[in-house]
Amino acid sequence: MEQFRNVGIIGRLGSAQVLDTIRRLKNFLIARQLHVILEDSIAEVLPGHGLQTSSRKLLGEICDLVIVVGGDGSLLGAARVLAQHKVPVLGINRGSLGFLTDIRPDELELKVGAVLDGEYLSETRFLLSAEVRRHNEAIGQGDALNDVVLHPGKSTRMIEFELYIDGQFVCSQKADGLIVATPTGSTAYALSAGGPIMHPKLDAIVIVPMYPHTLSSRPIVVDGNSELKVVVSKDLQIYPLVSCDGQNHFTCAPGDTITISKKPQKLSLIHPLDHNFYEACRTKLGWGSRLGVHD
């Protein structure tokens, strides 16, 4: 198993609970004689920490492990930067759902200690890359671990667009928008819009129309290596938005083309040994537990 010596800490700003957990984590890692590096923004709100600080990008280059303290949104933001550096990422949950950040604060020392001892599960999650082109010129680009969403922004009008998969025309559609999600993102916004839950190990992309004009329009699951092209109708009266993980946004004009495909660099995500995707679904999504008749 890999030995973690240089450990970076990223945290969500604006939360006293996150800062409390970061202080505990920092003290725990120092007690284990590890080299701890704080992300710049967190270091600013921890006066007197006495530790090395770094930009998020540089953390990916110099760390053997990066621990994110916050919710899934915090990990999504970190993942988009850290994936290209192949540094493993571990999440401590200070948010609500916690599909990606799966260590509870009260078990910090026990679970993080086990990971540092080499007792962990490691998996890769792929990201999507989205590019908006206008008159064959790139005007916007973004990455997403969860989803790329075409939506009307503040407008209440429907969007009309054409969908192509690997160069083949699929359909033209009127809808409130379109969600293109990874397996990681299948339990997020895509699920709310009626998409299927996909196991994280699947190499697949799900395309979920949002409130489509036709009742027969349904989500489509395609191969993870597919190239998707969404062409915004030239006759559209509004300027829709493209959002990556709900955090990065850029504006489209009528006639623009959005190309979405798998990003070559993957995120390395670490879990405690007792992590179980189906157990996470049960607890986070309120699925029924055992009836007590089976061992």
Catalytic residues: 72
SS (H, E, C) 118-169: CCEEEEEEEEEEEEEEECCEEEEEEEECCEEEEECCCCCCCEEEEEEECCEE
Rounded CA-CA distance 91/287 in Å is 23
Give me the sign of the Cα torsion angle 283, 94, 77, 57.
negative
Q: Write the CA distances from 215 to 55, 159, 211, 221, 241, integer angstroms.
A: 48, 16, 9, 18, 24
Spatial CA neighbour of 104 closest among 272, 263, 245, 288 = 272
Q: What is the DSSP string of 56-124?
A: HHHHHHH-SEEEEEE-HHHHHHHHHHHGGGT-EEEEEE-SSS-SS--B-GGGHHHHHHHHHTT-EEEEE
Element (H, E) at 30: helix 16-31
- CA angle 207/213/215 to nearest 5° reads 75
Q: Position 287: which residue type?
A: W
